[in-house]
A and B are shown apart, each in its own frame.
Chain A
Amino acid sequence: MKALGRCLALVAAACLAGGCGSKKDALEVAAFKGGYGIDFYEKAASEFASKNPGLNVEVWGNPRVWDQLAPRFVSGNPPDLSLPGWDMRVWALIYDNQLEPWDAALDGPAPDGTGTWRSKFLPATLKLGEYDGKVYLMPFYYSVQGWWYNVDLFAQHGWKPPKTWTELLALCDKIKAAGIAPITYQGMYPAYAIAGFLFPWAISAGGMQAVDDAQNLVPGAWESPAMLKAAQMIDEVRRRGDFQDKAIGMSHTVSQTEFIEGHAAMIPCGTWLHSEMGKQLPPGFRMQFFLPPVLDDNKGDPTNVCFSVEPWIVPAKAKHKKEAIAFFRYMTSLAKAKEFVQTKGTLMAIKGSDQVDLPDYLLEAAKASRQAKVSWSVMYGQWYPEFSKETEGAMSALLSGSATPQEFCDRCEAAAQKARDDTNLRKHQVTH
C-alpha cells in the first residue's frame, strides 16, 4: 500500500513538472484530426526531430481539438503550434493578442530554393490570415468551392456541365425528364448555398465588387441589384423544381449521399467532398468539379474561384515559438507540400505543389484554381458570426420559399446595418 502511494506521488509529481503525457521541453503540436488525419504531421515531426538532434516533437490531435485548445489558451499554456480546426474562432484569439505574427519568418529565406518563404505561398491564401497588416493565420491545405457533377450519370445521358444560366436551365429540364433531381444542396447548413449559389451569381450579376461590398458591410450592398438578381435566380431554380425535393431538410451528409447515390445530378461543395464521403463512395464512383454557371451577360471575371483555408497558428504564449515556426516551415517545403497533395488528395497553398499526379476528382478544381484571375473567400462568417447566422436564416427562408428574394435582401441588409452599428465588432475589409 505504501509502495502504491509512493508510485502515485511520483506520477503526480511528474505530471506537475512536465504536463501529463508530454516530455519536458518537447515541441507540442496539436492538430485537428479531420478527413486528412494527423499521420502526415506525425511523420513530418519524426523527420524534423531526426534533422534536429535534441529536439522532441510531440503531435496529438482529435476531431474536436478546439475544445481542448480553448482552456489551454485561457490558462496561458497553449501548445506551441496548432491546426485548431474549423470550429475555433481564431479571430477572437487575434483580437485578444493571443497569436504570434509570422511576418519576420515569412520575410526570411524559403525552406527550399531561392526567395523568401512568403513568396512560396499563393498570395490569396496568405492574405486571408492578415490583420492590421500582419499575418497571424498560416495557410496549409486549401479547398476550392464550386459545383460537382456525377461523371458517369452525365456520360450515360450525354449531358455536359453547364457553363451559363441558360445552359443550366436547359440541362435541368433534361435531368428532370430522366427522373433525376438536377441539384441537391445541404439545406440544414445554408452557408453552403451562400458560397455555392448566392455569391457566385451575385458576382456574375454585378462583378466582384458586389460580393466584396456585401462582406465589407457597405450600406445597401445586400440590397444591391446584383444581390437581388442572385436571390431571384435561386428562387427561380426553386420554383422550377430544379432543387431536389426536401433538400431543405437535408444535412451535408444526407444531401451528399443523395448525390453519390445518383438521386441528384449536381451539388455545390468544396474539394473536401471526396474525403468527407470517404467510405460511402460506391466503388468506381466518379465525380468532377466545375465552376458555378454564370449569367449569359456575365459581369464577373469568368475565372473567379471561391476557396477556403484551415489555418495554422503559433500562440503568443508558446514556449517554443522559434522551433514551432521552423517545424511549420519544414512542412511547407515544396517536397513536403507535394507529398501532402499526393497522399491526402487535396490542394496546398504552396506554389507548384499541384505539379504531381493528382487524383481524377481534383483535376478540374486544380485547373480552375491555377487559371483563376480572381480568388475570393467567404470571410464575413468568421468576422461577424451573428450577422452570418442571420443571413443563413434568411437563405433558409429563401430556399424554402417562405421569403421572396426582396424579403431576403431586406432582412440581410437590416442585419448588416445592425453589424455596422455594433461598435464592439471589429471591422474588416475584403479587397480585390
Chain B
Amino acid sequence: MRGRARTTFIVSFLAPSVALFGLFVCVPVVQAFHFSLYRWSGLSSVKTFVGLENFRALFKDSVFRQTVVHNLTFLVVGGGLILLLALLIAHCLQGKGKAVSFLRGTFLLPQIISLVVVAVLWMFVYYPDAGLLDGLLKLLHLQRLSRAWLGESSTALWAMVAVFVWQGLGFYVMLLSAGLRGIPEEVLEAATLDGASGLRRFRKVTLPMLWSIMRVAVVYVAINSLNVFALVYLMTQGGPDRKTEVMLTYLYEQGFKNNEFGFATAIAVANFAIVMGVSLLILAAFRKDPQEARAAR
C-alpha cells in the first residue's frame, strides 16, 4: 500500500472512534471546566459568570478538605489493604486443582455483584443488633464491642473502608494471579537452587517480575479510591456528620441537592486534577522497572 492510501486507510478506521471519544469524553470534560466558571442552578438556562469564585470558595471549604482526607484514607488504608491481601491470596492460589479454581472464583464474586446489592448486603451485616457482625460478636461473647457501625463517627469511615476492600479485592486477586502465573517457573526454580526461598525469593525475584502488573494495580486502586461514590452514597450518604463524605458524594450533594452546579463542577475539576496528579506520581514512582534496570547493568 502506498503512503497516502495507507494514511487514508488508517484515518478511516480511527476517525469514528476519535470522533466519538471527542464528542462523549473531551467535550463534556471541557464543558465541565466551562461550567465551573459560572453560578448555575442546573434547573434553567440562567447562568452568571463568576470567574474563579467557585475555585476560591472550594479552596476555603473545610468540608472539601475533609472529603479529600477521607478519599486518601480509602486510598492508603483501603487500597493498601487490597493490594497486600490480593498479593497474599494470589500467591496462595498459585496451585492447580478444583479447590484453587473454586477459591479464585469465590474471591471474584463481590466484584461481579452489583454495587447496589453489595451496599444492601453490608447494611444487613452492619444492621444494629440483628446484623451479622453484631451476631458474630454475640456468639463470641464480645457484645461490649458492638456498635452502630455506620452511625457512629468513630466507626463509620472504617466500616466503609472494610466494604470497599471486600468489594474490590477479587479483581486484584485475579490481576496479580495472572501476573504470578506469567513468571516462568524455571526462574523461580533457579532462584530456589541458588538458595533463595520463602520471603527472600518473593522479595528478590517474584515482586520485581510483577513490577509492571503492580504498577497497573496501584494506579487502578488509586483511581478507584479517589473516585469512590456509589458505595458511600448508598450506605451512608456521607454521614454521620460528614464522617464518610468523599469528593464525589460532596459533588453530588452540591449539584443535585443544593443545585450549585457551578460549584459542583469546580469540585469535579479539582477531583480530576487530584486523580491525575496522584496517578502521575504513582507512575513516576514505578518508573524504574527493577528488571529493566538489572538488564541494563
Q: In the assembly, what is the distance between CA of A70 and CA of B41, in Å?
A: 10
Interface centre among B39, B43, B45, B259 (most CB of A within 10 A): B43
A residues lining the B interface (CB < 8 Å): 70, 73-74, 76, 87, 89, 92-93, 95-98, 187-188, 190, 245-250, 254, 385-386, 389, 392-394, 396-397, 400, 402, 424
Closest 9 CB pairs of A and B: A249-B151, A249-B148, A246-B128, A246-B148, A393-B241, A248-B151, A96-B44, A92-B41, A92-B259
Q: Measured between alpha carbons, how far is A319 from B151 in the docked complex, in Å?
A: 47
CB distance from A420 to the nearest CB of B (A): 16
| Complexed CA–CA distance, A400 and B46 (Å) | 42
Contacting pair A396 B240 (CB below 8 A): yes
Say yes or no: B257 contacts A92, CB within 8 Å.
Answer: no
Tell me whether B152 and A400 are in contact (CB under 8 A): yes
A98 to B41, CA, bound (A): 11
Which A residues are CB-close (under 8 A) to B126? 249
Give every chain B residue within 8 A of A87 (Cβ-Cβ): 257
Across-interface contacts of A394 in B (CB, < 8 A): 241
**Are B129 and A245 in contact, CB atoms less than 8 angstroms apart?**
yes
Asked if A74 and B259 make an inter-chain contact with CB atoms under 8 angstroms apart, the answer reads no
Contacts A245-B128, A249-B128; A93 near B148 (Cβ below 8 A) = no
- Asked if B43 and A400 make an inter-chain contact with CB atoms under 8 angstroms apart, the answer reads no
Interface residue total, chain B, C-beta cutoff 8 A = 29
List 27 A-B residue pairs with CB atoms under 8 Å apart, sorted by A's residue number: A73-B43, A74-B42, A74-B43, A76-B45, A89-B257, A89-B258, A92-B41, A92-B259, A93-B43, A96-B43, A97-B44, A97-B46, A187-B151, A245-B129, A246-B128, A246-B147, A249-B128, A249-B148, A249-B149, A249-B150, A249-B152, A249-B240, A250-B151, A385-B257, A385-B258, A393-B239, A424-B39
Tell me what chain A mostly uses at the interface: helix, strand, loop, or mixed: helix
Partner of B42, one of A70, A187, A249: A70
CB distance from B99 to the nearest CB of A (A): 38
Cross-chain contact of B240 among A76, A98, A188 (Cβ < 8 A): A188
Inter-chain CA distance A393–B153, complex, in Å, is 10
Q: Mark B242-282, 1 if CB is under 8 A from A, else 0.
A: 10000000000100011100000000000000000000000
**B242: which A residues are within 8 A, CB to CB?**
389, 393
Residue among A70, A393, A402 making CB contact with B43, cutoff 8 Å: A70
- Is the beta-carbon distance between B44 and A188 smaller than 8 angstroms? no
Any A CB within 8 A of the CB of B236: yes
